Amino acid sequence: MDRRLQFAFVLLCLGLLSSTARSDLVVSKAERLVDLNSHIVRVLSKLKVENEGPDDVSEVLLALPDAQAKNLAAIRTFYSDGKLGFVLPTEPIEPKGMPSDVTYYSIALPKKLGKGKTVSLDVLSIFTRSLKPFPEEITQAESQLVVYTDNMYYTSPYPVKYQSLVFRLPGRVESYTKYPKVELVKSELRYGPFEMQPAFSYSPVVVHFENNNPFAVANELVREIEISHWGNVRVTEQYTISHGGASLKNGFSRIEYQARPYMRGASSFRVLIAKLPARAHSVYYRDEIGNISTSHFWGDSQRTQLEIEPRFPIFGGWKTTFTIGYSLPLHDFLFEADGGKRVLNMTFGCPLDEVLVEKHIVKVVLPEGSKDITVATLFPTKQSEDVKYSHLDILGRPVVVLEKDNVVPEHNLYFQVYYKFNNISLLSEPMMLIVGIFLLFVACIVYMHTDLAISKTSSSYLEKLQWEEVQATVQHIKNIFDQYLAAHDKLESSLRDLSRSGDVQSCKAARKAADAQFKELAKELKPLLTFLQSCSQASSILPKIEELVTKEKEMQEKEMAKHTTVVDCFEKKLGGKDIESRIASQQQKLTSLKQEVESLLDSISEI
Amino acid sequence: MATSKVEGSSSLRHAFGGVLSVFILFLIGVVAFSIRLFSVIKYESVIHEFDPYFNYRVTQFLSKNGIYDFWNWFDDRTWYPLGRVIGGTVYPGLTLTAGTMWKLANSLNIPLSVETVCVFTAPIFSAFAAWATYLLTKEVKGPGAGITAAAILAMVPSYISRSVAGSYDNEAVAIFALIFTFYLYIKTLNTGSLFYATLNSLAYFYMVCSWGGYTFIINLIPMHVLLCIVTGRYSSRLYIAYAPLVVLGTLLAALVPVVGFNAVMTSEHFGSFLVFIIIHVVALVYYIKGILTPRLFKVATTLVLTVGIAVCAVVVAILVALVASSPTKGWSGRSLSLLDPTYASKYIPIIASVSEHQPPTWPSYFMDINVLAFLVPAGIVACFLPLSDASSFAVLYLVTSVYFSGVMVRLMLVLAPAACIMSGIALSEAFGVLTRSMKFHITKYFECSHTEAPAKLGESTSTESSAPLENMTKSDTTEKPEVARKEKVARRKQKKEKELTENAHVKPVSAKKERRPLVLPLEASIVSVFLLIVLGGLYVLHCVWAAAEAYSAPSIVLTSHSHDGLHVFDDFREAYAWLRHNTEVDDKVASWWDYGYQTTAMANRTVIVDNNTWNNTHIATVGTAMSSPEKAAWEIFNSLDVKYVLVVFGGLVGYPSDDINKFLWMVRIGGGVFPHIKEADYLKDGQYRVDAQATHTMLNCLMYKLSYYRFVETDGKGFDRVRRYEIGKKHFKLTHFEEVFTTHHWMVRIYKLKPQKNRIRGKSRKSKLGSKSTSSKSGGMTHKNPWN
């Protein structure tokens, strides 16, 4: 308090000294409404500024004591000319010849303020960390009490003719600065009106009141927005959330919390509500040790809401971390801009309600191959560039990093990223995969078909070659025998034809043809057999093949004999029964021979 | 032209068969992978249980710091204040595997987190294990049995229980390594190729890296070698299969830090060296037999035998003396408890306290291998028809693993592949016999009904009796040649083709088949095939049920179905997250050792003891603290620099595996080292209870107090839903501990040690007495529940 008084005294002196410096302008009316409901303090000052000097004025100065200015998260001036309302640029400046413990902001007026004219300005300034918990440590059962300090008078470089101050409070008031002109009505604490105060008037006002609204502070938030031109925007938000209020002492008792959560544990919060853009889908909510199962999600075409509950209720001084991720349809956020550019239009801030973000980092991951990247934001941010590698990237994806401290919900404005991107690049990764798999198959084929033996003269290699040759020969022999069998079949069928049609001539012709084929095949077989005999490796198969040859010869003889018999019988016009009885024994032998031949063939083919 | 077509189609058929079996194997891999994903679908992609958390943490360290730091990693987050040398005390196979997979994916810019890789390592390796089973069974009994065995292994519940997605434990890769090592051993045995022998040593090395169960391999293979030698099956192939494995394998095994010189020093490995000597003697004998005449050989035998036996006796005596000089006879506690199932419960309560080290019950066999239990005997029979080196190995593997699974429920896992191989052989043989007889009958039927008689039929199953009969029918029918023949020729060709493919598929059995044709009646075989298919179907149903319901729970998240839907109990992670974010980084947390790995991995806080259980005294200290009264416990914990004490309590929601139910083990283990803790003090008439009849010691020990602190205020009576009675002591205060966090369902309660009170001269004793009297009085004083 002492320091504050000293400070006020200094201010007052300075104010008296410099009161003449800007005497042209006069604040004819200043109504301040200080909203203390949440831990983010919003001060709305309705100003009427009058030009009493002779010259036209184009800018209006605002003043904030440094103690407050360091907590300032945003300042915005609204101006209305009757019909349209717009936001006036408000920039910090350092004017000369003014008291130095004060930070100044200049508002550029849309048109010059002539002599005797008045302009109405609504200045919204947002302060963070201005509510100090007092006491600083409370037990679970106690409510959280906080102290807010402000100037009873409007701090201004101009004299203020008429002013008032209203605090809007969330609950019980423990104490407040007593003053003649003060009244407490329900949840509003009113000071004033005060008239004719000189510039830089100062008188401290302190309010000590109960505030159990969540003091949710995100110590760090990393928002990663990843664009895929296949139609998706993936947003991943990593939070480190803590409770910025009075810290908990004497431990946490679950029984008390469960018995009466709102009485015992009033200062804690257990639910956070995230307002996501419409049509958000594929939402997840997890932390480094897995999924967090306590969340609710609902949405319609206008908006999507995600209600998340951290793993444990957050009491003063506690903290936790978690990650939220969701996907958005690309066409809602990406548009074509002039000059063939594309523009991404997204909100900057954090989607959680009434959360102060101390360090806010937005990373926009553009697709691989994006060029000419520019960013447009409505407030100053620290920009840098980075590269991220993911999903089979070669060059990496360009990343735009935007950093800003002390981000409040009022910063939840749109920002734009402009970049150039060629749609052909989309195909590069699928093509890469296709080529990769193709090459794999080619490599397999090459491996199967090349001879990778190092020594071409080693005995095992030669053996292997010979073995392959033997196998080929055996295969060839097998084919020949298949042809033999086919010839046999032909003969048999000619006999059947004979029994049906009685055409002896054609039957004989068939026999002749078969004879010729048998001879030809025998010729073909000979060199193969001699080769096998010469090969040492074929010794295991050779007996079988030789057996096959003899069996086949026998079969040929039998077949021929049968054929002759049948033809003879036909020529002698014998009856079917007779023929049957004559060839019965031959037939039996033939069948068994055929079986043997076929089983031999099978056993050979098994090698 | 016709012939070339036949030839082309046959090679095409071979190629088709090959492609088909590759495709089937691929599908088996897919099944093995996807049946293990129930846990991810029903719960989430998260690491399960206890040990996997440690492996996960090690993998994280490996992926972050690289391999060299990993070998030298001294972990100061555990076993405070002793710490643990991680690089030298873990089997690194699993972590290196997952780390390599992660690195590979990341080098290709595939953004997978370490956790994802760890979660899916086990399913991937299950697919590999199924393929390794195919290879092994193919070596034993042909590809048909191989595919069947692979399909069975892909979904055997016993293996699923240890390899669901998220179960990131050594067994996940070790079973693959085990089967693959066996495959390479059999492959070497069948081919006699030194190439496979070298691969075998490498596979053995991987197994040594992965799991302590490698001793099973290094004992089973020598046993098989010995069996082969004794049954007169010694061959040079056997020598090639065994000798390089012992030499290379032992050298490689010694490279693994956790094994090191154990590979030559402990008794687990002595069997292999003994057999190594024996096989050399046998090889020498065979060699000498080859170069000597029979008479000379006889002389030499007697000479060598007399000298040899004397030398052997001396060597054995020295060995026995050496081994006997060590207290555990050179065996590690776990191996000893395998050989003598009562050993652990007698001497090492810490091994006996682990539920997976208990012997299994009969229902657990049915649960874990289901119908395989009935198929296995048939498989054994099939392995004896005929008995080869490979099939004798399969039988030996089965028999030993049945014994081990009977000792420890955990080793059911080793039994599972053996049972799968046996059942695969049995099923494939049964199908072979049945389909063959069906085909025989159908072909016959086909011939009878049509006039044509394809003479081929006898080829596969011809019997003496059927041949004349066929000829009779044939000679009858050749007279009536009205039917269109061409069609029949075509059909015959088709049939021939079919039979050819059939032959190709049952190749290895065909040799036997010729010798011993077995034809069952058609109806019987149809019914049997149908029944076998039903049996297989039941098995699949059971496996899917087991995978979905019984083995997918991650155990850190519990769910219960109630009338108002699914209820999730996520208390463990709630507590760990709280510890992680709201305590100092260097705070020490004391809990029973079960939660050590999870606390270090999820909460990132230093623990006093963990699941590694290497230091019995340290665990006994914590057990003693938990079983002591508050003051004594506070002193023990304070001397260990503990700041928080974590207990798991299931009494509110009925979670049975809480600390109160484990408490008797804490008493036993604590009492084993600190004799002032006596189990009898905690038991009332031999019964363990915490209700009104419980002993005074029980109701005043720290574990009781921390579990039930202010519990009575929940319902006014203090009804414990696990024990199903009202607790004994309902109202008491804590003097040296302070509750700092309790999770939503009270499953985890965290207490903080109160700082030491300022000492007031001469008053300390008095105040102590005073506090005691208040705490005992308080039972009567605050009788009313403030909430009701």
Residue B271 pLDDT exceeds 60: yes
Residue A50 pLDDT exceeds 80: yes
The stretch B745-772 carries a mean pLDDT of 69
B382, B508 Cβ separation under 8 angstroms = no
| Residue B272 Ramachandran class (φ > 0 left, ψ -120 to 50 alpha, else beta) | alpha
The stretch A507-519 carries a mean pLDDT of 83
With H, G, I as helix, E, B as strand and everything else as coil, classify residue A425: helix
Residue B399 is predicted with a pLDDT of 93
CA angle at A491 for the pair A489 and A492, rounded to the nearest 5°: 65
B10–A606 C-beta distance less than 8 A: no
Residue A465 is predicted with a pLDDT of 82
Percent of chain B residues past pLDDT 70, beyond the cut: 84
Residue A183 is predicted with a pLDDT of 86
B529, B435 Cβ separation under 8 angstroms = yes
Residue B511 pLDDT exceeds 60: no
Residues contacting B493, CB < 8 A, separation 6+: none
Hey, is the C-beta of A449 within 8 angstroms of any chain B C-beta? no
> What is the DSSP code string of B122-175?
HHHHHHHHHHHHHHHHHHHH-HHHHHHHHHHHHT-HHHHHHHSTT---HHHHHH
Q: How confident is the model at residue B762 (pLDDT cuts 50, 70, 90)?
A: low
Of A392, A475, A496, Cβ closest to residue B108: A392
Q: Which chain A residues touch B458 with a CB distance below 8 Å?
A: 595
- Bond prior to A214 in cis (omega within 30° of 0): no
Q: Of B434, B336, B326, B334, which Cα lies nearest the Cα of B378?
A: B434
B503–A252 C-beta distance less than 8 A: no
Residue A569 is predicted with a pLDDT of 78
Q: Which chain B residues touch A601 with a CB distance below 8 Å?
A: none
Among A527-536, B450-459, B527-536, B728-737, the least confident range: B450-459
Residue A550 pLDDT exceeds 60: yes
Hey, is the C-beta of A452 within 8 angstroms of any chain B C-beta? no
B713–A254 C-beta distance less than 8 A: no
B416, B363 Cβ separation under 8 angstroms = no
Q: Which chain A residues touch B462 with a CB distance below 8 Å?
A: 595
Sheet containing A57-65: give its strands across. A57-65, A102-113, A90-93
- Bond prior to A135 in cis (omega within 30° of 0): yes
Q: How confident is the model at residue B295 (pLDDT cuts 50, 70, 90)?
A: confident
For residue A427, what are the CA distances in angstroms to A229, B106, B645? 11, 21, 57
Residue B1 is predicted with a pLDDT of 43
Residue B478 is predicted with a pLDDT of 38
| Residue found under tokens 């008239």 | A195
**Residues B140, B150: Cα–Cα separation, whole Å:** 13
Residue B529 pLDDT exceeds 80: yes
Residues constituting chain A: 607
Higher pLDDT pick, A453 / A59: A59
Q: Find the closest chain B residue to A489 by CA distance.
A: B489
Residue B3 is predicted with a pLDDT of 45
Residue B770 pLDDT exceeds 50: no
Residue B482 is predicted with a pLDDT of 41
**Residues B336, B347: Cα–Cα separation, whole Å:** 11
The stretch B342-355 carries a mean pLDDT of 72
pLDDT tens profile A221-274: 999 999 998 889 999 999 999 998 888 888 888 888 888 766 677 888 888 899
Hey, is the C-beta of A606 within 8 angstroms of any chain B C-beta? yes
| DSSP 8-state assignment for residue B548 | I
pLDDT tens profile B611-651: 887 888 899 999 999 999 988 999 999 999 999 999 999 88
B481–A479 C-beta distance less than 8 A: no
Residues contacting B666, CB < 8 A, separation 6+: B592, B622, B623, B626, B627, B659, B703
A289–B741 C-beta distance less than 8 A: no
A557, A565 Cβ separation under 8 angstroms = no
Q: Which chain B residues touch A255 with a CB distance below 8 Å?
A: 710, 713-714, 742
pLDDT tens profile B577-600: 999 999 999 999 999 988 999 999
Sequence letter at residue B209: C
Percent of chain B residues past pLDDT 90, beyond the cut: 38
pLDDT tens profile A198-209: 888 888 899 999
- Helix B93-107 and helix B51-71, axial crossing angle in degrees, nearest 10: 80
Q: Which chain B residues touch A319 with a CB distance below 8 Å?
A: 581-582
Hey, is the C-beta of A252 within 8 angstroms of any chain B C-beta? yes
The stretch B674-681 carries a mean pLDDT of 87
CA atoms within 13 A on the CB side of A458: 6
pLDDT tens profile A293-312: 888 888 888 888 999 989 99
Q: Which of A311, A578, A593 to mutate to test the interface with B (most CBs of B within 10 A)?
A: A311
Percent of chain A residues past pLDDT 90, beyond the cut: 21
B573–A389 C-beta distance less than 8 A: no
Q: Which of B498, B742, B746 to mutate to test the interface with A (most CBs of A within 10 A)?
A: B742
A390–B557 C-beta distance less than 8 A: no
The sign one gets for the Cα dihedral B96, B97, B103, B104 is: positive
- Helix B2-34 and helix B485-505, axial crossing angle in degrees, nearest 10: 50
Residue B759 pLDDT exceeds 90: no
B582–A318 C-beta distance less than 8 A: yes
B459–A598 C-beta distance less than 8 A: yes
Among A190-204, B286-300, B399-413, B665-679, the least confident range: B286-300
> What is the DSSP code string of B313-327?
HHHHHHHHHHHHHST
Of A300-309, B91-100, B288-297, give the range with the top mean pLDDT.
Answer: B91-100
B10–A255 C-beta distance less than 8 A: no
Residue B621 is predicted with a pLDDT of 92
Q: Of B560, B509, B466, B490, which Cα lies nearest the Cα of B142?
A: B509
Residue B352 is predicted with a pLDDT of 73
ipTM of the complex: 0.78
Across chain B, mean pLDDT equals 82
Hey, is the C-beta of A458 within 8 angstroms of any chain B C-beta? no
Residue B499 is predicted with a pLDDT of 44
| Residue found under tokens 């059927």 | B466
Instruction: Give how far A482 is from chain B: nearest CA, Å.
Output: 6
The sign one gets for the Cα dihedral B115, B116, B122, B125 is: negative
Q: Find the closest chain B residue to A241 by CA distance.
A: B581
Hey, is the C-beta of A454 within 8 angstroms of any chain B C-beta? no
**Residues B247, A25: Cα–Cα separation, whole Å:** 99
> What is the DSSP code string of B617-684?
HHHHHHHHHHHSBHHHHHHHHHHTT--EEEEE--TTTT-SSSHHHHHHHHHHHHHHH-TTS-GGGGEE
Of A254, A289, A321, Cβ closest to residue B746: A254
| Residue found under tokens 């990223």 | A417
Hey, is the C-beta of A294 within 8 angstroms of any chain B C-beta? yes
Among B56-60, B110-114, B146-150, B195-199, the least confident range: B110-114
Residue B359 pLDDT exceeds 50: yes
Q: How confident is the model at residue B687 (pLDDT cuts 50, 70, 90)?
A: confident
Instruction: Give how far A320 is from chain B: nearest CA, Å.
Output: 6
Of A433-437, B3-7, B86-90, B502-506, give the range with the top mean pLDDT.
Answer: A433-437
Q: Which residues of A180-196 are buried (b: 16+ CB within 10 A; e: fewer)?
A: eeeeeeeeebebbebee
B470, B458 Cβ separation under 8 angstroms = yes
B109–A391 C-beta distance less than 8 A: yes
CA atoms within 13 A on the CB side of B699: 20
Residue B10 is predicted with a pLDDT of 60
> What is the DSSP code string of A284-305?
EEEETTEE---EEEEE-SS-EE
Q: Which of B582, B583, B752, B754 to mutate to test the interface with A (most CBs of A within 10 A)?
A: B582
pLDDT tens profile B717-755: 888 888 888 888 888 888 899 999 999 889 999 999 988
The stretch A498-513 carries a mean pLDDT of 78
**Residues B678, A58: Cα–Cα separation, whole Å:** 90
Q: Which chain A residues touch B605 with a CB distance below 8 Å?
A: none
Q: How many CB pairs under 8 A join A and B?
A: 129
pLDDT tens profile A116-166: 888 888 999 999 888 899 888 888 888 889 999 988 888 888 889 999 999
Q: Which chain A residues touch B556 with a CB distance below 8 Å?
A: 290
Of A253, A291, A480, Cβ closest to residue B46: A291
Residues contacting B516, CB < 8 A, separation 6+: none
Of B4, B714, B740, Cβ closest to residue A252: B740
Phi–psi pair at A12, nearest 5 degrees: -60, -45
The stretch B669-674 carries a mean pLDDT of 88
Hey, is the C-beta of A188 within 8 angstroms of any chain B C-beta? no
> What token pair was written down for A522?
């025998």
Q: Find the closest chain B residue to A319 by CA distance.
A: B581
Among A81-95, B170-184, B546-560, B627-641, the least confident range: A81-95
Percent of chain A residues past pLDDT 70, beyond the cut: 95
**Residues B69, A413: Cα–Cα separation, whole Å:** 47
Hey, is the C-beta of A393 within 8 angstroms of any chain B C-beta? yes
Sequence letter at residue B509: V
